[in-house]
Amino acid sequence: MITYEYPLNERIRTLLRLEDLFERSRHFIARTDPLDHHVALLTLFEILEVAGRADLKSDLLQELERQKQVLLSFRNNPEISEEALSSVLRDIEQAAAALASAIEIEPNDVEARILLSELQIATNKIAAAKVSFRAAIDRAEAAIPVADAFAGWLVLRGDVTEAQELADRLIADAGDAETFATASAFERTVKRPDRAVAHAERAAKLGLPAGRRSLLLDRGG
C-alpha cells in the first residue's frame, strides 16, 4: 500500500482529493437508498468542479507523459512482463488522448492550449503543437505576446518564413504608440530588423518615450 504523508504539493493534494471523490461516488452509486444516490450526485458535482480546471488537465498530461517515459525505460527488461507493461502504456496513452481532447474543447482557455502545445513540443508532436499554439493565439485577448512566443519557437526551428507569415497576419498598419512598439518587438523576433526599426520610429512619432525607442532599436544589436 502506498502512503502519502503530509502532501504539501498542491497537485498531489488535488489528485488525492479526486481519488477520494471517485471512491466515494462509487460507494454511494452502488447503494440503493435514494439518499445515497443524492450523495453520489453531489460527489459527482464536486468531481466536475475539481477536474474541470484546464490547468489540472495540463498538469495531468505532463504527469502521464513523465510516467510513460519512465515505463518505456523498462522495455526489453527480462524481469518485466511485456504484456503487462504494454497494457499500462495503452491505458496511459488513452488517458492522455482523452485529456488532450478535453482541453481542445475548452472554449476560451488560452493558457491550457499553451501548456498543451509545450507538452506536444516536448514529445516531438510538432504539427499538433502548431495547431495548439494557433488556437491559443486565436482565442487570446492580447494575441501578439502569445504569437511572439510561437514565432520565436518557429525561428529556432528554422521555420522563419512561417513566423514571418504569422507576423504579417497579426501586425496592424495603424494604431497607437504601444501598438507599433509591440509590432517592432515582434518584427525583431521574426528576423526583420528593417521593419522593426520602421515600427519603432512610428511609435516614437506617436509619443513613445525615447528610452523605450532606444531599447527597441538596441534589441537587434
* pTM for the full predicted model: 0.59
- Residue 1 is assigned to a structural domain of this protein: no
- Residue 191 is assigned to a structural domain of this protein: yes
Question: What are the angstrom distances between the C-alpha of 196 and each of 41, 136, 142, 159, 169?
Answer: 57, 24, 19, 19, 16
Q: What is the pLDDT of residues 160-204, one digit of tens each?
A: 999 999 999 888 766 788 888 888 889 999 999 999 888 888 888
One domain for residues 127 and 146? no
- Residue 52 is assigned to a structural domain of this protein: no
pLDDT tier at 5, thresholds 50, 70, 90 = low
Q: Considering its fold, how many domains does the chain have in total?
A: 3
How far, in Å, CA of 26 to CA of 49, rounded? 17
Q: Which of 152, 182, 155, 157 is nearest to 170 (CA)?
A: 182
One domain for residues 67 and 23? no
Q: Which of 89, 67, 85 is nearest to 77 (CA)?
A: 85
One domain for residues 197 and 218? yes
**pLDDT for the residue 7:** 58
Question: What are the angstrom distances between the C-alpha of 6 and each of 13, 17, 30, 60?
Answer: 9, 13, 31, 21
**pLDDT for the residue 97:** 81
- Residue 15 is assigned to a structural domain of this protein: yes
One domain for residues 147 and 134? no
One domain for residues 64 and 107? yes
One domain for residues 120 and 148? no
Residue-number span of the structural domain to which 26 is assigned: 11-47
One domain for residues 161 and 100? no
How far, in Å, CA of 36 to CA of 213, rounded? 67
**pLDDT for the residue 167:** 92
Q: What is the pLDDT of residues 117-165, one digit of tens each?
A: 877 787 778 898 898 889 889 888 888 888 999 999 999 999 999 999 9
Q: Is the pLDDT of residue 75 over 70?
A: yes
- Residue 79 is assigned to a structural domain of this protein: no
